[in-house]
């Protein structure tokens, strides 16, 4: 497969002079690896992929692209689930070779890192100092911190520890016009624009380095597993946990379809496959507090029909409880070649009602559903299983996904929790924002990227309109 347009020869020559042949991909076969992120329904062929090995190479690349009037798509490891790094006949700037941990400061409890550092490696580097990086997206062993910042990623433990933005102290950004700036802690006065760039999905610039906060290791961490006869009952138990004054470090729900897939795989941990749903609840702190918190969580589960509650007594048992949740996404490939993942957030109090409704929507379109998600903060991840080679099935998946999204918004929810908007959920922005609100966002974007060259077609559905301005 070839890109619709090849790089102009003079541009290709200039880029080769910067990154060398090892840092420029134009071969159509090799470009196939960059057609999509983890959301396979959204695909595009880039003109080329550039892999700068230094900050200066990245700056020089932007200068060449700007002079040639070419747009670009920043990309990390490509683990995103919203089509956020898909390039439609434009250039991809992959930051995976910018992967140095520049500094760990144990006294200040900070880490200065490049955007291509794999997220899990930050905690590994901090561990000898008794520290950790708290955000833990499910793909932490593969995804990069730059992508996490660009999407403001969450993860199972964001319930208590917060999302990525809560742990970013500052960052250096490279704007489409070649300007660089340091934002956040250490910046020289003026407005703090760091929050504007976190979660902007590469649409207003590229992150070149990030200052992160680190936290002490927990004294003790333990988990429990609650098994339920219905997903609605499990959803009700989630609300009950919080009504009893408990804020766990993580609270995850796994449905029967997911449990059966895990138990049929090499990751089986002996969960009963006849249960409708399971809750994984984790608490951390001093041992006495953990015991008290787990007892509260266990009672909440039993009061809402859990027929069994398993409490981990040691680290081995804790990891076994987490196995079904941690390996869930990987085992979906046993059931279907493709997965369409939604990422809506709803009030916790709506879970009991909405979970059966989501199952009904999937059945009405003749689709298989595997549901596992961050129940504690209402961040739903219904996974619709399909085969993208089947055009009819793809159409049914799209319709079901739209119905689920509308259901969640109508319940007072949002269209994304941690996967970003990307190119997939652009069509849903109008469900949450009116014309005036969208126009304000567009005008703010244009202040940083007037030519629309940074990750075009993502996040915002249109350009600013005279009607909205008037």
Assigned token pair, 386 = 């399909």
In the chain, how many domains are there? Answer: 4
Which of 334, 357, 374 is where one domain is finished?
334
Domain encompassing residue 63: 9-94
pLDDT at 187: 80
CA 64 to chain centre: 31
Assigned token pair, 179 = 């300007």
Q: Are both 232 and 302 inside the same structural domain?
A: yes
Spatial contact of 143 and 409, defined as CB atoms under 8 Å apart = no
The DSSP letter of residue 218 is: P
Give the confidence band of 4 by pLDDT, cuts at 50, 70, 90. low
Spatial distance between the Cα atoms of 82 and 421, rounded to a whole number of angstroms: 6
CATH of the domain at 198: 3.30.465.10
According to DSSP H, which parts of 32-164 are helical? 55-68, 119-126, 145-151, 158-161
Q: Are both 108 and 197 inside the same structural domain?
A: yes
Spatial distance between the Cα atoms of 341 and 336, rounded to a whole number of angstroms: 13
- Name beta bridge partners: 254: 278, 372
| pTM of the full structure | 0.93
Q: How many CB atoms lie within 10 A of CB 412?
A: 12
- Give the pLDDT confidence of 320-343 residue by residue, as tens digits: 999 889 889 889 998 999 999 989
Q: Are both 57 and 32 inside the same structural domain?
A: yes
Assigned token pair, 65 = 């692209």
- Name beta bridge partners: 147: none
Q: Are both 236 and 330 inside the same structural domain?
A: yes
Q: Does residue 50 lie in a domain region?
A: yes
pLDDT at 46: 95
pLDDT at 229: 95
Residue 466 pLDDT > 70, yes or no? no
Q: How far apart are the first and last CA of the chain?
A: 45
- Give the pLDDT confidence of 334-392 residue by residue, as tens digits: 899 999 998 999 999 999 999 999 999 999 999 999 999 999 999 999 999 999 999 99
Q: Are both 316 and 367 inside the same structural domain?
A: no
Q: Does residue 47 lie in a domain region?
A: yes
pLDDT at 340: 94
Helix (H, G, I), strand (E, B) or coil at 348: helix
């Amino acid at each position: 497969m070839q890109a619709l347009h090849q790089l102009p020869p003079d541009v290709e020559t200039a880029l080769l002079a910067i990154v060398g042949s090892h840092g420029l991909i134009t071969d159509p076969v090799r470009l196939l690896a960059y057609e999509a992120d983890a959301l396979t329904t959204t695909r595009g062929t880039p003109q080329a992929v550039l892999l700068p090995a230094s900050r200066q190479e990245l700056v020089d690349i932007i200068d060449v692209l700007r002079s040639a009037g070419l747009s670009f798509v920043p990309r990390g490891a490509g683990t995103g689930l919203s089509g956020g790094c898909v390039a439609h006949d434009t250039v991809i700037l992959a930051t995976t070779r910018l992967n140095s941990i520049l500094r760990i400061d144990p006294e200040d409890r900070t880490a200065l890192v490049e955007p291509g550092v794999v997220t899990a490696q930050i905690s590994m580097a901090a561990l000898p100092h008794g520290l950790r990086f708290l955000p833990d997206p499910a793909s932490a062993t593969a995804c990069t911190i730059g992508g996490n910042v660009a999407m403001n990623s969450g993860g199972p433990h964001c319930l208590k520890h917060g999302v990525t933005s809560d742990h970013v102290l500052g960052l250096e950004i490279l704007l489409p016009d070649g300007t660089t700036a340091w934002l956040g802690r250490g910046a020289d006065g003026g407005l703090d624009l760091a929050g504007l760039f976190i979660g902007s999905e590469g649409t207003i610039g590229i992150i070149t380095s990030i200052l992160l906060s680190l936290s002490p290791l927990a004294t003790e961490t333990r988990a429990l597993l609650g098994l339920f006869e219905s997903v609605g009952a499990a959803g009700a138990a989630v609300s009950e946990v919080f009504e009893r004054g408990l804020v766990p470090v993580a609270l995850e729900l796994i449905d029967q379809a997911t449990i059966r897939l895990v138990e049929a795989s090499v990751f089986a941990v002996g969960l009963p496959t006849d249960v409708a749903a399971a809750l994984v609840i984790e608490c951390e702190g001093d041992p006495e507090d953990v015991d008290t918190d787990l007892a509260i969580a266990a009672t909440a589960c039993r009061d809402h029909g859990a027929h069994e509650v398993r409490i981990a007594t040691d680290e081995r048992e804790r990891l076994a409880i987490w196995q079904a949740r941690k390996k869930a996404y990987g085992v979906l490939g046993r059931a279907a070649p493709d997965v369409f993942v939604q990422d809506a957030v709803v009030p916790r109090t709506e879970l009991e009602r909405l979970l059966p409704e989501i199952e009904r929507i999937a059945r009405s379109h003749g689709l298989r559903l595997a549901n596992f998600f961050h129940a504690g903060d209402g961040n739903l991840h219904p996974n619709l299983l399909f085969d993208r080679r089947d055009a009819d099935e793809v159409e049914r998946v799209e319709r079901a996904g739209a119905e689920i999204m509308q259901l969640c918004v109508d319940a007072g929810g949002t269209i994304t929790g941690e996967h970003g908007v990307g190119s997939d959920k652009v069509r849903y922005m109008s469900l949450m924002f009116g014309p005036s609100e969208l126009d304000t966002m567009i005008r703010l974007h244009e202040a940083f990227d007037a030519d629309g060259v940074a990750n075009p077609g993502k996040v915002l559905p249109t350009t600013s309109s005279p009607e909205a301005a008037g």
